[in-house]
């Protein structure tokens, strides 16, 4: 049986890593990994293969940057040739990036079964490109692997046949649980001159937050206020860095510098280039609070028991709010400060780990693949 997995962007790699390891355990399975190159910067892509011990991709499409339409079209054009040449038994796609949707459509049109890992998540916000990718991918998939109960409800409401649905848990948590001890031992916080549970960690990259000057300034107003009391470590996404400079907010970079040798910082915003998976997980695991607009980080903080403020009006991962440590704060600088104050006073909810987020999702997924797609 030949499984062809498609990855393209940073969020995909944490999800395909455990799958690759589990597939390798079975001599009757052959795994072909295709990297579309949607994220082409080494820190956004290459280091993840090292950290997660994933074999180098068998095929690299080199799609690179571009508009949503350009990326989707390039992936479909190049991947069609690969699928026709490799003739896989199933194409596995993960998450909700442009490469995910493009690969799913391409495989479905070639009549190759599609398996979608992380199916059924919905924000119900069609202004998010990822939401379109999720809906379309699920509509053409044959095997839908669901990470939380809301996904089953969403897919049932959309009329997806129950025999296609498999509640398997969260494969990204497989990666977290396997690597958390190594990440903590890395003590990356020392590089930034901060101390465990005495700093905030920030990520910010969504177009709705960083492409609008008004939205970005409102968010930064809250972050700057927080940084006067608690140092904020901010690995900056290339898109966000460009927008900060474009909007004339380069004063945010006042504390940027060589942090590799550590420093005596007690406050302020400490910026860095994007971090590897293990470096980021190290920082995340010992943060007092995490502020983010990322989907996966909401899940990681829930398992780690770290308070998380999500700088969005909605989330496609509602279990992180209902059971986990996540709170939606929107783009309000005032709300960001208020919720951070609650954390500092020890008034934040503790949360619990959702069902089947136990590090065994990959085992369940590969078991289904062998049974259903072989």
Per-residue DSSP letter, 199? -
**CA-to-CA separations, 134 to 105, 206, 263, in angstroms, rounded:** 12, 16, 43
Which of 35, 116, 205, 237 is an active site residue?
Answer: 205
| Cα 91 from Cα 227, distance rounded (Å) | 45
| Cα 367 from Cα 134, distance rounded (Å) | 23
Element (H, E) at 70: helix 68-86
| Cα 86 from Cα 84, distance rounded (Å) | 6
What string of DSSP letters covers 16-69? HHHHHHHHHT-TT-EEEEEE--SS-SGGGTHHHHHHTTPPPPSEE----S--HH
Bridge partners of 327?
309
Tell me whether residue 205 is one of the annotated catalytic residues.
yes
| Cα 187 from Cα 179, distance rounded (Å) | 13
Query: Which tokens belong to 227?
Result: 């940084």
Work out the number of other CB atoms within 10 angstroms of the CB of residue 119. Answer: 27
| Cα 287 from Cα 49, distance rounded (Å) | 25
| Cα 102 from Cα 177, distance rounded (Å) | 30
Query: Which tokens belong to 339?
Result: 């919720």
Per-residue DSSP letter, 240? H
Work out the number of other CB atoms within 10 angstroms of the CB of residue 354. Answer: 22
Residue with tokens 């007092």: 288
Query: CB under 8 Å to 374, separation ≥6 — which residues?
Result: 1, 28, 89
**CA-to-CA separations, 142 to 119, 163, 367, in angstroms, rounded:** 11, 9, 15
Give CA torsion, residues 50, 54, 59, 61, to 10 deg: -60
Catalytic residues: 205
């Amino acid at each position: 049986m030949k499984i062809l997995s498609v990855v393209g962007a940073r969020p995909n790699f944490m999800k395909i890593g455990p799958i690759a390891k589990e597939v390798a355990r079975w001599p009757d399975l052959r795994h072909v990994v295709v990297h579309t190159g949607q994220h082409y910067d080494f820190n956004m892509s290459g280091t993840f293969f090292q950290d997660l011990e994933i074999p180098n991709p068998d095929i690299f499409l080199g799609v690179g940057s571009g508009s949503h339409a350009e990326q989707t079209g390039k992936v479909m054009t190049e991947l069609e040739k690969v699928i026709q040449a490799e003739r896989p038994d199933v194409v596995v796609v993960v998450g909700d990036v442009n490469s995910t949707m493009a690969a799913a459509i391409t495989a479905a049109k070639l009549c190759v079964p599609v398996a979608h890992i992380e199916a059924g998540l919905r924000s119900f916000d069609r202004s998010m490109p990822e939401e379109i990718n999720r809906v379309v991918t699920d509509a053409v998939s044959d095997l839908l692997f669901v990470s939380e109960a809301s996904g089953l409800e969403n897919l049932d409401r959309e009329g997806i046949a129950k025999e296609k649905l498999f509640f398997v848990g969260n494969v990204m948590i497989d990666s977290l649980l396997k690597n958390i001890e190594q990440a903590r031992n890395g003590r990356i916080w020392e590089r930034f001159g901060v101390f465990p549970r005495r700093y905030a960690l920030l990520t910010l990259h969504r177009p709705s937050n960083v492409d609008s000057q008004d939205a970005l300034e409102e968010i930064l107003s809250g972050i700057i206020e927080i940084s006067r009391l608690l140092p904020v470590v901010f690995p900056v996404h290339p898109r966000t860095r460009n927008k900060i400079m474009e909007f004339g907010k380069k004063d945010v970079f006042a504390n940027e510098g060589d942090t590799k040798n550590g420093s005596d910082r007690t406050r302020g915003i400490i910026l860095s280039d994007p971090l590897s998976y293990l470096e980021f997980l190290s920082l995340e695991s010992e943060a007092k609070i995490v502020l983010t607009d990322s989907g996966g980080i909401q899940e990681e903080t829930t398992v780690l028991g770290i308070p998380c403020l999500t700088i969005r009006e909605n989330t496609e991962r509602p279990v992180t709010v209902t059971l986990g440590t996540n709170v939606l704060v929107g783009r309000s600088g005032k709300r960001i400060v208020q919720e951070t104050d609650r954390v500092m006073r020890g008034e934040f909810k503790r949360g619990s780990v959702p069902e089947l987020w136990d590090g065994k999702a990959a085992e369940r997924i590969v078991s289904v693949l062998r049974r259903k797609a072989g």
